Amino acid sequence: MPVAIITGASKGLGRALAEALAARGWDLVLDARGAEGLREAAEGLEKYGTRVTALPGDVTDAGHRVELVAAAGKLGGVDLLVNNAGVLGSEPLVPLDRHALDAFRAALEVNVVAPLGLVQEALPQLRAARAGAVVNVSSDAAAEAYRTWGAYGATKAALDQLSAVLAVEEPQLRVWWVDPGGMRTDMLAAAEPDEDLSGTPTPADIAPAFLRLLDRRPASGRYTAAALVEAR
């Protein structure tokens, strides 16, 4: 069975992707900071009969990243790395003139440095895989100028550029950086607590778009979930 590492898998998009892959028979290595939420997510996948290793920890910790990749190696080697874990920096979001620099540095560590570190750790296994792939979860804030989203958007723009260079340097892999669009998640609620999210898609609504990447294996590049859904 193919093996995927998914960070930030206790809730939101990470959890939805874990369920979607488990339903297809994938074995999983799951990460999240909250041990209880991660345990509940892993238990919810038992019905699929796949192997699930849940490792709570912080992706900014190099030792934790080593553990994630080692766990994937025990399952047969990582075929897919999903860098989904992310933080806003400031909650709720604020304009750049009021954004705490320490919060921005923390967001850079989680949203940019940690994904690169995990890619570096996983590359030997990904190169050895028959169809190795990396999915880096981006945002429309990486490409558009939205008030109060500047610091978070800057981290995602940096992740996009790292993804683009990785795609050039590792042409045998598929590297997809994907903008999922607005989702009804705790993160979006924290970013804009006064917004009505009742009509916003759920992560479960968005997950099938990511599966289309695995089904079709398009060229490495930047994709939006909306475009992937439309391209049936």
Residue with the bigger pLDDT between 183 and 2: it is: 2
Per residue, the 3-state secondary structure of 61-82, as one string, reads: CHHHHHHHHHHHHHCCCCCEEE
Mean pLDDT (the chain) is 94
What is the structure's pLDDT at 184?
76
Q: What is the pLDDT of residues 35-74, one digit of tens each?
A: 999 999 999 999 999 999 999 999 999 999 999 999 999 9
> What is the Cα–Cα distance from 32 to 147, expressed in whole angstroms?
29
What is the structure's pLDDT at 197?
67
Minimal CA–CA distance to 41: which of 6, 84, 91? 6
What is the structure's pLDDT at 89?
93
* Pair 27, 75: CB distance under 8 Å: yes
Residues marked as catalytic:
138, 152, 156
The residues near 27 (Cβ < 8 Å, ≥ 6 apart) are 1, 2, 3, 4, 50, 51, 52, 75, 76
- 3-230: CATH topology: Rossmann fold (3.40.50)
- Distance from CA of residue 186 to its chain's centroid? 15
* Pair 212, 231: CB distance under 8 Å: yes
Q: What is the pLDDT of residues 204-230, one digit of tens each?
A: 999 999 999 999 999 999 999 988 977
| Residue 198 phi, psi dihedral angles, 5° rounding | -60, -30
Minimal CA–CA distance to 166: which of 232, 83, 94? 83
**Model confidence, pTM:** 0.94
